[in-house]
Amino acid sequence: MKFLTCIVRQPCPEMVGGLSSGGLGIPDYGLALEQHKKYVEALEECGCKVIVLPADPAYPDSVFVEDTALLIGSAAILTRPGADSRKGETAGMKPVLQNHFMPVEEIILPGTLEAGDVLEVESHYYIGISERTNNEGAEQLIRILEKHGKTGSTVRLQKFLHLKTGVAWLGNNTLLLTGELRQALEFHNYERIEVDDDEQYAANSIMVNGTVIMPAGYPKTLNTLQDSGYKVLQVDTSEYRKLDGGLSCLSLRF
Ligand code: CIR
């Protein structure tokens, strides 16, 4: 799939209080801003026009736009974040999506769903059941997908925050995956590039128009991808990692 446009949101200074499982310290806001700029440049280098939304100080985690919507070509689906502090983020995304998509569908309570839990593989969507995405949210999404000629199925997560914390689609029947998802039966029939446990964060990479954008600082995964023939761009996202956020979470791509 060719991506023409990406949507990102500037990080706000309040991001230092964003949700985090802890252990890596508090993000440096100045450095996060710099890293965000380089992330946008990487998307542009891959041929995308990037829409940069203004920072939203009401929501410390609002830089992680991927969780607020799922874009499926013929429609956009506004999600219903499972984290209380993130529930209001979708309101700001709705008018932006309405500029580009018709219809804009919505997940409604008691369903919860964050699109970091949704992995698109051609016209099938794997949906992680996690602390943020519940069965009701997944069922609603599957019904919406089916209306649009696509399919969905669930994958139960034990440890990862989101499904895409541990798996990325590289096209050509190939997944980049790590941790608990190595055992997931749902992914057994794909070509697989496995990421070692000490580089788990690198499994959250994105394939954009023939280039894999991956986080900087994961040499084994970088070598594996390059040896397998992938063109790779690296972007440092260390400050977002401190908030459990990966590369994919920072953009919506369509
Ligand atoms: C959160 O816990 O919601 C944010 N601190 C990180 C969200 C990362 N998003 C993603 O993996 N799709």
3: left (phi over 0), alpha (psi -120 to 50) or beta: beta
Residue nearest to atom 3 of ligand 1 (CA): 19
What is the position in ligand 1's atom list of the atom closest to the CA of 132?
3
What is the position in ligand 1's atom list of the atom closest to the CA of 249?
12
**pTM, full prediction:** 0.97
Per-residue pLDDT of the chain (254 residues; tens, 9 = 90+): 899 999 999 999 999 999 999 999 999 999 999 999 999 999 999 999 999 999 999 999 999 999 999 999 989 999 999 999 999 999 999 999 999 999 999 999 999 999 999 999 999 999 999 999 999 999 999 999 999 999 999 999 999 999 999 999 999 999 999 999 999 999 999 999 999 999 999 999 999 999 999 999 999 999 999 999 999 999 999 999 999 999 999 999 99
Domain with residue 170: its CATH number is 3.75.10.10
- Peptide bond before residue 103 is cis, with ω within 30 degrees of 0: yes
Q: Domain range holding 107? A: 5-253
Phi/psi at 185 (5° precision): -60, -35
Q: How far does residue 112's CA lie from ligand 1's centre (Å)?
A: 14
Number of domains in the chain: 1
- Peptide bond before residue 110 is cis, with ω within 30 degrees of 0: yes
Within 6 Å (CB) of ligand 1, which residues are found? 18-20, 61, 64, 66-67, 83, 86, 116, 161-162, 164-165, 243-246, 249
Q: How far does residue 227's CA lie from ligand 1's centre (Å)?
A: 30
Question: What distance in Å separates the CA atoms of residue 44 and residue 52, rounded to the nearest whole number?
Answer: 12
Residue nearest to atom 2 of ligand 1 (CA): 19
Catalytic residues: 162, 249
